[in-house]
A and B are shown apart, each in its own frame.
Chain A
């Protein structure tokens, strides 16, 4: 009986050890190891559609950063800030002003889908509180604020450890508060962008 107990104990230990050894390579591929915690990015803004951003401004640049607040399996809940600057190109529609600056404070749901070992495809959707300010140097020409919604995706490539580079595409529709002639309400009150972003994650 004593011998049997010793043999079972040894076999159990060997079995557990073997399972651990076998699981190691699989664990590396587990989604948990693909988590992202922080990202910062450069953005190329493009106004699209029939609105003041697209018709009277030219996308200049954008910068942003985001932090993961919560993750469960492949799902990430992320909070971020981005600043996007446009140059005014048509002073008759956008005012004789140098820049239109957009700021987005957003909450995003991102889902990581492993494609190959180092590459993930990440569809995402964000909701933002946005502000739009027009400025010529330090002179301020007022502010609009509202909400924005942005479906998009990015693809990241893991260089080493958790460090990744990525590129993505975001469609963004924003609704800044606007009082104007009925004919132009949508022109100023429904803004659309198709923005290209690239940056780093870790």
Chain B
């Protein structure tokens, strides 16, 4: 009897979890994936992930077509969720880089749609390492990189100060050689600064001035 009661209580509380969706409202994500040379990449898996503190759904996915384009349409989740798009989300091992676009707010849709533009991926076999040093006493609240990065995290709402601490990537970041990366960072006063980092064919340590 006690076990039955415990089971019923668990079922009751678990039924209160999960992510709620509004089936009548359909949100649209679209974009394009290219290689480092700017040519469209076909067959790259792109996923939309919805999560809250207890649950996670891969609510939609698509494979890029011959023009590198993807389209994902899915029911609108409730307000208190994280929405993330993962470009190259295939679980099969591949050598392509990966980009996660996160911090997508429901207020950022225009006519229920977001076009993420072009995400460029590269073959990560020939990566170099980028290490970024900030001057003593400066601790940015968040940083973002634009360029060919092996596991890039793109904050879609970069200019909004983080609510839950500092968004900070790994110390050593794998990037493609022979490119210029744009580093964007937010200082504790909320100001956002940008600087360019030239990358050659060897590992780089970049000191922010």
Contacts and interface: CB of A to CB of B under 8 A. Distances in A.
A181 B24 contact: no
B119 to A, nearest CB: 16
Contact of A134 (B18, B20, B23): B23
Interface in A111-149: 132-134, 139-145
Most central of B23, B57, B71, B73 by chain A CB within 10 Å: B23
Contacts of A142: 20-24, 75-76
A143 B24 contact: yes
Interface string A26-51: 00000000000000000000000000
Contact of A179 (B24, B59, B60): B24
Contacts of B76: 142
A93 B70 CA distance: 11
Interface residues of A, number: 26
A188 B74 CA distance: 11
Interface residues on B, range: 20 to 34
A92 B73 CA distance: 6
Interface in B58-78: 58-62, 70-76
Nearest to A95: B74
A77 B20 CA distance: 39
Given A133-B23, A134-B23, A139-B18, A92 B62 contact: yes
A181 B74 contact: no
A179 B25 CA distance: 5
Contacts of B59: 95-96, 141
A180 interface: yes
Nearest to A94: B73
A179 B28 CA distance: 11
B111 A182 contact: yes
A168 B26 CA distance: 34
A177 interface: yes
Contacts of B75: 95, 134, 141-142
B112 interface: yes
A69 interface: no
Given A91-B61, A96-B57, A177 B72 contact: no
Given A180-B112, A181-B112, A182-B111, A93 B22 contact: no
A140 B57 CA distance: 12
7 contacts: A92-B62, A134-B23, A139-B18, A140-B21, A142-B21, A183-B28, A184-B28
Interface of A: 91-96, 132-134, 139-145, 176-184, 188
Per CB-CB distance, the 7 closest pairs between chain A and chain B, nearest first, are A142-B23, A92-B62, A180-B26, A142-B21, A181-B113, A179-B25, A95-B74
